[in-house]
Amino acid sequence: MNISIVIPVFNEETNLDALISRCLESCSKINKPFEIILIDDGSADSSRIKIEEAAKKYPGKIVGVFLNRNYGQHAAVMAGFETSSGDVVITLDADLQNPPEEIPKLVEKMEEGFDVVGTIRKDRQDSLFRKLSSYLTNKIVQKYTGIMMHDYGCMLRAYKRNIIEAMLSCKEHSFFIPILANSFAKTTSEINVNHEKRLSGDSKYSFFKLINLYFDLLTSMSTLPLRFLTFLGTIISLFGIGFGCFLFLMRIIKGSAWAVGGVFTIFALLFILVGLQFIGMGLLGEYIGRIYNDVRSRPRYFIEKVIKDKSS
Ligand code: UDP
Ligand code: MG
């Protein structure tokens, strides 16, 4: 059983040395052939040079994949999958929030024959906002995929080769790897892992990048939100009709003076409705934007070069 470790790297120069040495040490404990694939997702710092050096220093063990610019974490991981050759592929973050020491545990679990093995982060070291949004996302994803995994956000995961091939055959642009994988997986399992603070540097997700990720996640999963929109629209319309009847009645009973007094209520309602309409249109836009991207079917990323030495 060959193991491939896939790690996306975006401006992580301060973490790379520790990452590489800890991964090498952890992998050599498994006693199986392995390769560590570091994907440079268009870093602007010295990450690129560091990966190049590491790939030359540890030929056959470290593979460098260089994207020509920044395409985002999940696209970078996909580029890593494309280059990988292992029977089991493990993804990991470069900031050492997922300790590489957990890799042997994942491999051990995969040997039991699961398609996907996820992880649950013990005392997650992230902000409250991130934890809360993860909690909500996990609940929604569990409902949609029907697979009761607890932590879809953690990228420390292992996939069998056939799942990787299935994911590579998907051509869509908006995807979230743990969910995509589970839509092909038959048997899944989870293990507990430690979670640490980011070793150094800041999260590579700005507020807008995070919003984009969440929309990717939502729209890649289902068109359910669109149906929800219709449902909400219907309810609001029914309410509107009811309210109209009520106003009409009150006007007959209490006279026109009362109805004039209600003008502001109508304004308030109008704002609510207009707001809802915009939310609905925005949501439609999110889908249409993604459809547009897929229709153009441009490459999801462009690999500039790969440093891979098979000599050892
Ligand atoms: N990453 C990437 N491209 C990006 C953003 C992030 O390759 O555009 C990588 C980053 O280097 C790290 C992983 O994705 O290895 C997770 O990023 P980060 O730790 O910033 O995310 P967070 O822990 O805040 O969710
Ligand atoms: Mg992180």
Same-domain pairing of 216 and 235: no
Q: Would the CB of 70 count as within 6 Å of ligand 1?
A: yes
Q: Is residue 276 part of a domain?
A: yes
Secondary structure class of 307 (helix, strand, coil):
strand
Same-domain pairing of 263 and 276: yes
d(CA 277, CA 279): 5
Same-domain pairing of 263 and 153: no
Tens of pLDDT, residues 120-130: 988 888 888 88
Q: Would the CB of 19 count as within 6 Å of ligand 1?
A: no
Taking 80 as the threshold, does the pLDDT of residue 255 lie above it?
no
Same-domain pairing of 158 and 28: yes
Measuring from atom 8 of ligand 1, which residue has the nearest CA? 72
Q: Between vectors from CA 245 to CA 244 and to CA 246, what angle results, nearest 5°?
A: 90
Please give the model's pTM, rounded to 2 decimal places: 0.84
Same-domain pairing of 62 and 48: yes
Q: Would the CB of 93 count as within 6 Å of ligand 1?
A: yes
Q: Is residue 82 part of a domain?
A: yes
d(CA 193, CA 91): 14
Same-domain pairing of 204 and 230: no
Pocket test for ligand 1, best of 65, 69, 70, 93 (most atoms within 8 A of CB): 93
CB within 8 Å of 231: residues ≥ 6 apart: none
Tens of pLDDT, residues 80-101: 999 999 999 999 999 999 999 9
Tens of pLDDT, residues 193-239: 998 888 888 888 888 888 888 888 888 777 777 878 888 888 888 88
Domain count, the chain: 2
Same-domain pairing of 186 and 262: no
Instruction: Domain of residue 271: give its range.
Output: 224-296
Same-domain pairing of 106 and 195: yes
Query: Given the CA of residue 94, which atom of ligand 1 is nearest to it?
Result: 15
First to last CA, the chain: 17
Q: How far is the CA of 149 from the centre of ligand 2 (A)?
A: 20
Q: How far is the CA of 201 from the centre of ligand 1 (A)?
A: 11
Same-domain pairing of 159 and 49: yes
List the 34-40 sheet strands across, edge first: 188-194, 116-122, 157-160, 88-91, 3-9, 34-40, 62-67, 303-307
Same-domain pairing of 212 and 125: yes
Taking 50 as the threshold, does the pLDDT of residue 285 lie above it?
yes
Which of the two residues, 243 and 54, has the higher pLDDT score? 54
Q: Is residue 241 part of a domain?
A: yes
Same-domain pairing of 131 and 277: no
d(CA 158, CA 6): 10
When mean pLDDT is compared across 63-67, 254-258, 303-307, the lowest value belongs to 254-258
User: What is the distance, to the nearest Å, from the Cα of residue 18 to the centroid of all Cα atoms in its chain?
Assistant: 25
Segment 66-75 shows an average pLDDT of: 95
User: DSSP state, 202?
Assistant: -
Q: Is residue 312 part of a domain?
A: no
Query: Given the CA of residue 41, which atom of ligand 1 is nearest to it?
Result: 7
Same-domain pairing of 182 and 43: yes
When mean pLDDT is compared across 27-31, 75-79, 147-151, 240-244, the lowest value belongs to 147-151
Question: What band does 259 get if pLDDT is binned at 50, 70 and 90?
Answer: low
Instruction: State the CATH number of the domain containing residue 200.
Output: 3.90.550.10
| Mean predicted lDDT score pLDDT of the chain | 88
User: What is the distance, to the nearest Å, from the Cα of residue 211 to the centroid of all Cα atoms in its chain?
Assistant: 11
